[in-house]
Amino acid sequence: MEVTLQDLTKTYPSRSKKSRELVVAVKDFNFKIPDGTLIGLLGPSGCGKSTTLNLISGLQKPTKGKIFFGEEDVTNLLPEHRGIGLVFQNYALYPHLTVKQNILFPLENLKGKDKLSKQEMAEKAMDIAKLVQIEELMDRKPGELSGGQQQRVAIARALVKMPRVLLLDEPLSNLDARLRLQTREEIRRIQKETKITTIFVTHDQEEAMSISDLIVVMNKGIVQQIGNPQAVYDNPDSLFVAKFLGTPPINVFEGQIKNQHLYIGEEAVLQLDPLTKEHTPRKVFAAVRPEAFVLKEDGPLSCKLSGVEVMGRDVSVVSTNSASLTPKIRSIISAENKLETANPVIRFALRPKKVFLFDKETEKRIYVNLVSQSEGGMA
């Protein structure tokens, strides 16, 4: 089912009695969610993710804008008539019912022509239980299940009516790290098998990046960027998006464009593509991905080494530079590299494709073509 959000906006009265200002939870959200895709709705706490999901489910009414499921305008439809499946962080299972009864619950409330026989209901419940791999747990009560198993039951319950759209609000946040990883792969598998259009809300960038066909990055109620996860990571439109995606996070420096070079501090670290037109000098934010740094004896960027963190396959080299906006610079270097830890100064070359420039006022991307110093060819 294709889902279209049209100028979707939600404002709340301020929670404080003194202030008359409105809280803009979601502002002018426009997006056509392609049929059968899994969308990761991503952003920091309070950015409007849950509100967006609640508008799509019908639990909340928009202040402005419309929602379509396919051609159908569902903006004023009650949640129970939208054909949605909902899963929340806290499972919300009925504690006194067994797993089977929990899954059957949505089916038992079907009326009129949708009404199912006991036999049909049992079959549907079993099919779904198999899909989410909980068929052995059918007679247990939620209290007798692990968090991961409870969340599977919640997913089964949301899927049993074969919803048109599946909405998941931080479904993995209550699980420990291992289960989180496993359950997110499960969600991806189930989504691929059922091909149900799914919106997955999370504040965890890695989680969103790993399972989504498309990610939508939000901040303060406003969509910042939409795209395939790799494309957004490789080409952030704004400093916010650049900083929000990636671990360790991107390193931001005070930079300058002058003499057809990018300067970090006093050092010319990259060259502007000689084929592009002369660039007027300006100050910029230069954001450098951790994997952009290449250890090089005569590299143009010098930093002060402050430590090395072992990450297994790679090491994270921690250093400082007076032009850095964060106290520490983190660079990812393959563990095979020999690092002379006695030497307090380390020098880096930078991979130009992993360096992004942003306007200092608007924090929007400045698109200039950067290339390596002199020798070129390094990407």
In the complex, the residues that contact Mg ion under the rule CB under 5 A are 50
In the complex, least distance from residue 126 CB atom to ligand ADP, rounded to whole angstroms: 34
Residue 47's binding partner out of Mg ion, ligand ADP, none, with CB under 5 to 8 Å set by partner kind: ligand ADP
With respect to ligand ADP, which residue has the nearer C-beta, 55 or 131? 55
Q: How far is the CB of 47 from ligand ADP (least distance, A)?
A: 4
CB of 29 or CB of 356, closer to ligand ADP: 29
**Measured from the CB of residue 199, what is the shortest distance to ligand ADP in angstroms?**
12
Distance CA 359, CA 353 (A): 18
Q: How many residues bind ligand ADP (CB under 6 A)?
A: 12
The nearer residue to Mg ion, 50 or 224, going by C-beta atoms, is 50
CB of 216 to ligand ADP, least distance (A): 12
Of the pair 46, 265, the CB lying nearest Mg ion is at 46
> Which partner from the list ligand ADP, Mg ion, none does 51 bind, CB cut-off 5 to 8 Å by kind?
ligand ADP
- Going by C-alpha positions, the residue among 248, 316, 333 that lies closest to residue 287 is 248
Shortest reach from residue 50's CB to Mg ion, in Å: 3
Whether the CA torsion 106, 109, 111, 116 is positive or negative: it is: positive
Q: How far is the CB of 79 from ligand ADP (least distance, A)?
A: 16
Which residues, 6 or more positions from 334, have their beta carbon under 8 angstroms from its beta carbon? Answer: 313, 314, 315
> Which CB, 132 or 217, lies closer to Mg ion?
217
Are 183 and 37 within 8 A, CB to CB? Answer: no
Of 54 and 150, nearer to Mg ion (C-beta) is 54
Contact 285, 357 (CB under 8 A): yes
23 binds, among ligand ADP, Mg ion, none (CB under 5 to 8 A by kind): ligand ADP
Surface-to-core class of residue 248, CB atoms within 10 Å of its CB (0-12 exposed, 13-18 middle, 19+ buried): middle
**CB nearer to Mg ion: pick between 50 and 319:** 50
* Interaction pattern, residues 43-62, with ligand ADP; x per rule: CB under 6 A: x-xxxxxxx-----------
Q: Closer to Mg ion at the Cβ: 128 or 217?
A: 217
Q: Which stretch binds ligand ADP (CB under 6 A): 42-50, 114-122, 137-145, 358-366?
A: 42-50
CB-CB contact of 18 with 46 (8 Å) = no
Find the shortest distance in angstroms from Cβ 14 to ligand ADP: 7
373 near ligand ADP (CB under 6 A): no
Q: Which does 256 bind (CB under 5 to 8 A by kind): ligand ADP, Mg ion, none?
A: none
What residue has token string 């072992």? 310
Least distance (Å) between residue 195 CB and ligand ADP: 26
The pair of three-digit structure tokens given for residue 143, joined into one six-digit string = 């209290």
Q: Which residue number, 7 or 139, has a Cβ lying nearer to ligand ADP? A: 7
* Residues whose CB falls within 8 Å of the CB of residue 123, separated by 6 or more in sequence, listed in order: none
7 to 36: interface string for ligand ADP, x by CB under 6 A: -----x--x-------x-x-----------
Cβ of residue 268: shortest distance to Mg ion, in angstroms?
45
The residue ranges that bind ligand ADP (CB under 6 A) are 12, 15, 23, 25, 43, 45-51
